[in-house]
Structure 1
Amino acid sequence: MTQQSIRRADPPLSDSIFKMFQMHGKVVIITGGTGGIGYEIGEELAYSLEKEFGVKAKSYQCAVQNFEEVQACTDAVVRDFGHLDVMIANAGIPSKAGALDDKLEDWHRVVDVDFSGAYYCARTAGQIFRKQGSGNLIFTSSMSGHAVNYPQKQACYNACKAGVSHLAKSLAVEWADFARVNCVSPGYVDTPMSGDCAFEMKEEWYGLTPIERDCDPRELKGAYLYLASDASTYTTGADIVVDGGYTCR
C-alpha cells in the first residue's frame, strides 16, 4: 500500500503583492461601521463610500446584542449581494467603572455587546461560511485583552476582550476546514469612545505608551486589509496587536 498525503491544495494566488491585497468582488460586513475604527476599515475596503469608490454598498440597522437581528441582517446581506466573504465583528462599547462600582445593568450591557455580540456575528457568519466552504472572520479585540489598563478601571471590558481574543483562536481551530479567523487588538485610539475621557487620564495613557500618543484610526487600516485579503491566506488564529508598544513594557 502507498501512503496518501493529507496535505490540502494551496489556494490560487497571484505573484503580484498588489493583486493579493485587492478586494475586488468580495462582500464584507462591518459591524459598528458608522464611525471610528469601523468607518476607517470600511473606507479602506471600499465598502462605505459608494460614490467615491464606485462599489455597491448598503447600510443595515442592527443591534449586535440581539441574535435575531444579527441573523436577519446577515441573511439580508447574502440575499442582496449573493454571498459573504468577510465578517468584521467590530462593534463595541466601553466600561465606565470598576468591577465593584459597575452597575449590574451596565456590566450586562457591555458583555452583551462586546462579547455576546461578537459571538453572534461569528455564529451567523460561520453558518454561511460552512455552507459556502469558505469565509473569513475578523474580530476587533483590544490590547485590553492582553494587559490591564491603568489608571482607568474597566474589568468588564478587559475580560470581554480577552474572551474575544480566545474565541478567535478557538474558532480558528474549529473552522480550519472552511474559514480563517483572526483578531486585531488596537491600543488607545482617537475615536468618540475615548472622547469623554479626562485630559489627565489621557496624559497618563501617553506616558505608559512608548510612542507617547494615541492611534489615528487610519493607522489600523493595513492590519484589517491584510487579514481580509488574499495576502493572509495562511494566517489564522492570529491576534495583531497595534498599540504603540503599550503591551511590550
Structure 2
Amino acid sequence: METDHAPRRAIVTAGDSGIGRATAVALATAGMDVALTWHSDREGAEQTAEEVRTHGARAIVAQLDVADIPACGDVVDALVAELGGLDVFVNNAGAGTSTPFLDLPLDDWRRVLDTDLTGAFVCLQRAARAMVSAGNGGRLISVTSVHAHQPMVGSSAYDAAKHGLDGLMKNLALELGAFGIGAVSVAPGEIATPMTGQTDSDPHGEDRPGIPLGRPGDAREVAALIAFLASPPAAYISGASVVIDGGMLQMGPQAGASIESHDWRTV
C-alpha cells in the first residue's frame, strides 16, 4: 500500500463541540494538522484546539458562518493558505428545525438549506479546487444524517437538505475521481452531542429501545469512522454513504409494527 500521500492537513467545520470536536482530535491523533471552525462558540473551539495540540499537531481556529454565502468560501481559502495545503475536508457544520411542514416559515427553510446544502456546496467547492490545484488528490467527507436516507416528522427542511447533500457527494465522487479525490458521506443516527441535548453525557447509560444496540452513539465513534475514511487504507471508498446508527435504519417495518399510538404524527 502506498503511504507517500498520507494526509497531513485537514479542515473540520463546526469543530467547537460534538462530532466536530471529536473528529478534529481523531485526525490530530492520526498525524494531521487541523484547522477547525466555530460559528458562535469560540471558547469551545479554542478548547478543541488545545486538545489537538496535545497530540503534537498544529491547530488553527477561525470563525465560519456556513450560511454566509459566498463569504464562507473565503474562510476555507484562507485556512488552506494558512495550513499550506489541504488533504482532508470534513464538512460537519449543520442546522435543523423541528417544525411541521404546514407551519414551516420560508425564512427557516432558507436558513437550513443555506447552512446544510448551499453553504456546504460553496465550502466543498473551494476545498476541492485547492486539492485539484495541488495535484495530490484528497478526501471530501460530509457529515449528513440517517435522515439523508429516511425522513422524520417535523424535519422537512433538514431532510431535504441532507438528501441533497448526499446527492451532491455522489456527484463529487463522479466528477473528482479523475483528480484522485474521494467523496464520502457519513450518516449518523442519534449521537450524544449538544445538538441532541446530550452535552457531555455518557451514551452507554441511555436506554433507547428503538435502536437495536439500545443506546445513542458516542461522538468519538463517529470521529473514528471519519478518521478511517480519511486514511490511506480507505482510499478506494468513494461515492458511498456510510451509516453509523446502531442499527436504527433497520427498524422501519419493525418499529411500524410496534407503534401503538398516533403520537409520532406530531412534533
Aligned counterpart for 2:2 among listed residues 5, 12, 15 = 12
Aligned counterpart for 2:11 among listed residues 29, 37, 40 = 29
Residues 117-155 of structure 1: CA distance to partner in whole angstroms, max 9, x if unpaired? 211111111111221221210000100011123xx4211
Specify which structure has the bigger relative contact order, considering alpha-carbon pairs within 8 angstroms and separated by 6 or more residues. Answer: 1
Distance 1:128 1:140 in 2: 20
Aligned counterpart for 1:225 among listed residues 216, 223, 227 = 227
SS at match of 2:225: helix
Provide the residue aligned with 1:214 in structure 2. Answer: 216
Provide the residue aligned with 1:91 in structure 2. Answer: 93
Residues 63-110 of structure 1: CA distance to partner in whole angstroms, max 9, x if unpaired? 112233322212212221211111100000122212111121111111
Residues 18-47 of structure 1: CA distance to partner in whole angstroms, max 9, x if unpaired? xx9x75xx1100001100110000111114
Aligned counterpart for 2:144 among listed residues 136, 141, 159 = 141
Provide the residue aligned with 2:116 in structure 1. Answer: 114
SS at match of 2:140: strand
Distance 1:208 1:166 in 2: 28
Which runs of no fewer than 5 residues in structure 1 stay unpaired?
A: 1-10, 15-19, 197-204
Residues 90 and 234 of structure 1: CA distance in aligned 2, closer, same or farther (over 3 Å) = same
| Contact 1:70–1:124, Cα closer than 8 Å, also in 2 | no
Give the TM-score of the pair, scaled to structure 1: 0.83
Residues 206-248 of structure 1: CA distance to partner in whole angstroms, max 9, x if unpaired? 3322122211111112210111111111111111100111111
> Is 2:143 the counterpart of 1:161?
no
Provide the residue aligned with 1:200 in structure 2. Answer: none
Distance 1:130 1:67 in 2: 22
Q: What CA RMSD, in Å, does the superposition of the two structures yield over aligned residues?
A: 1.9
Provide the residue aligned with 1:78 in structure 2. Answer: 80
Question: How many residue pairs get matched?
Answer: 221
Provide the residue aligned with 1:247 in structure 2. Answer: 249
Distance 2:235 2:216 in 1: 30
- Residue 13 of structure 1: CA displacement? 3.9
Distance 1:67 1:232 in 2: 32
Distance 2:79 2:61 in 1: 10
| Contact 1:90–1:139, Cα closer than 8 Å, also in 2 | yes
Provide the residue aligned with 2:130 in structure 1. Answer: 128
- Match of 1:43, as an amino acid? V
| Contact 1:64–1:118, Cα closer than 8 Å, also in 2 | yes
4+ long deviations beyond 6 Å: none
- Residue 180 of structure 1: CA displacement? 0.7
Distance 2:23 2:78 in 1: 21
- Match of 1:54, as an amino acid? G
| Contact 2:77–2:127, Cα closer than 8 Å, also in 1 | no
| Contact 2:25–2:52, Cα closer than 8 Å, also in 1 | no
Provide the residue aligned with 1:66 in structure 2. Answer: 68
